[in-house]
Amino acid sequence: MPSFDIVSSVDWAEVTNALNQASSEVGQRYDFRGTETSIEKTENGLLITANSEERARAALDVLESKMVRRKVSLKFLDKKDPEPGPKGSSKILVAIKEGIDKEHAKDLVKRIKDSKLKVQGSIQGDAVRVSGKKRDDLQSAIALLKKAEIDIELGFINFRD
């Protein structure tokens, strides 16, 4: 029975490249001189620190532009509000969302069922497997999900006949 998987996975190599490019640009740009602005990767995500909130937001804009250039979707980013730090500094934590959580997986399965296509969706961990008898039905399901307004980035892998 033909099937495919719906996943939400980040290309970490491209994220690292975008992070390196953004931190390099922040270090070289004239408007960031003397602001002690830095972008670094932590276990919780990406941490942007600067001596003011506006510089931290500007560094976030630089990071986002580098991610877009590297073809990393901004839907993967979960930006927190700026937090005050010592001596008037500011920091922004940007978490990277990966995988499909339960609520989004249930929503995807519901959309597939409501479409009246002859396919079935099943939740398998942080992915959703869609199977059906005809390849055309599966391709219609992919087209349906690509058009849907969902706030996570979807990838379609393991298409099997």
pLDDT digits (tens, 9 = 90+) for 5-47: 889 989 999 999 999 999 999 989 898 888 888 899 999 899 9
Q: What is the model's pLDDT at position 22?
A: 93
pTM for this prediction: 0.82
18 with 92, same domain: the answer is: yes
112 with 129, same domain: the answer is: yes
Q: Which of 56, 75, 96 is the last residue of a domain?
A: 96
The pair of three-digit structure tokens given for residue 38, joined into one six-digit string: 């830095």
Q: Which of 77, 96, 115 is the last residue of a domain?
A: 96
Q: What is the model's pLDDT at position 117?
A: 87
Say yes or no to pLDDT of 161 above 80: no
Expressed as residue numbers, the domain containing 68 is 12-96
Q: What is the model's pLDDT at position 18?
A: 93
**Portion of the chain with pLDDT greater than 90, in percent:** 34
104 with 55, same domain: the answer is: no
The pair of three-digit structure tokens given for residue 52, joined into one six-digit string: 């003011």
User: How many Å from the N-terminal Cα to the C-terminal Cα in the chain?
Assistant: 7
Count of structural domains, the chain: 2
Q: Which of 96, 115, 144 is the last residue of a domain?
A: 96
CATH code, domain with 135:
3.30.70.860
